[in-house]
Amino acid sequence: MNNRQTILIIEDEENITKLLRTILRTHGYNAIVATNANEGKSMASSHVPDLILLDLGLPDEDGINVIKQFREWTNIPVIVVSARSNDYDKVTALDLGADDYVTKPFSTDELLARIRTALRHKRVSFDEELKRTKLFVCGNLKIDFDKHFVTIGEEKVHLTNIEFKIMELLCKSSGKVLTHDYIMNAIWGPYAHNDNKILRVNMANLRRKIENNPADPKYIFTEPGVGYRMIEAD
């Protein structure tokens, strides 16, 4: 039986599909290819792949629309692989339900890490995720969500309620980028001011408490103009 995971590539540039296919096959995935949005949508429903790599600049339809349509019927992880590096497209893609994005030209390691993260979050059910995130351990950082207890090495870190909630949110999606709007909405609700200032202030405080050097963070990374990404647990 072939139990390799299948990844659907929706991309019109031949040299990129070739490169992606080679990378995926070398690393044990099945790769199937669609060269436009229409073909991609039909292959997604006929093959039900484990993950989709989606280009935004497709010949027949904008990839942003394709994400919207996917999310009407499926939770298959979608990673955007695009040359568009402007924040607006990244944020829109993520807020519409894309799981992550990789900007061309991308590094093989980065792409594979994003794929592993997205597949892992898909595999783990919400309950398991909750159980697993009762304890988050990465390097010196240890978070016990039941006891509301954060330590760096032997030292206890005192977090405010809000800071703790932000940590919990980021840890539940560790390895994935979360947009400013997503975090704002999850912590402060839909009617919060959307200038993100309160988030930046809390994030700065949080980093001062958990990072050795807040300007060069090891646990919570900034995705400029997009949001934040927590490192994956050990």
Structure tokens at 113: 């890490």
- The distance of closest approach from Cβ of residue 11 to Ca ion in the complex, given in angstroms and rounded to an integer, is 6
- Would you say 15 and 4 are in contact if contact means Cβ atoms under 8 Å apart? no
Minimum distance, C-beta of residue 167 to Ca ion, in the bound complex (Å)? 37
Distance between CA 50 and CA 28 in Å, rounded? 13
When the beta carbons of 12 and 232 are compared against Ca ion, the nearer one is 12
Closest CA to 223 of 98, 85, 122, 31: 85
How many residues touch Ca ion under the rule CB under 5 A: the total is 3
Q: Is 104 in the site for Ca ion (CB under 5 A)?
A: no
Short-list 124, 102, 89, CA closest to 53:
102
Q: Please report how close the Cβ of residue 54 comes to Ca ion at its closest, in angstroms.
A: 10
Residue 40-69 contact track with Ca ion, rule CB under 5 A, x = bound: ---------------x-x------------
CA distances from 149 to 2, 6, 155, 181 (A): 44, 40, 11, 27
To Ca ion, the closest distance from the beta carbon of 29 in angstroms equals: 21
Instruction: Report 127-166 residues binding Ca ion (CB under 5 A).
Output: none
**Minimum distance, C-beta of residue 53 to Ca ion, in the bound complex (Å):** 12
Output 55 or 163, the one with its CB closest to Ca ion.
55
Closest CB to Ca ion among residues 12, 129: 12
Per CB under 5 A, the segment of 7-15, 42-50, 163-171, 220-228 that binds Ca ion is 7-15
Task: Give the residue with the Cβ less far from Ca ion, 14 or 144.
Answer: 14
Assess whether the previous peptide bond of 105 is cis (omega < 30° from 0).
Answer: yes
- Binders in 8-37 for Ca ion, by CB under 5 A: 12
Strand, helix or coil for residue 224 = coil
Min dist CB 13 to Ca ion, Å, is 5
Residue ranges that bind Ca ion, judged by CB under 5 A:
12, 55, 57
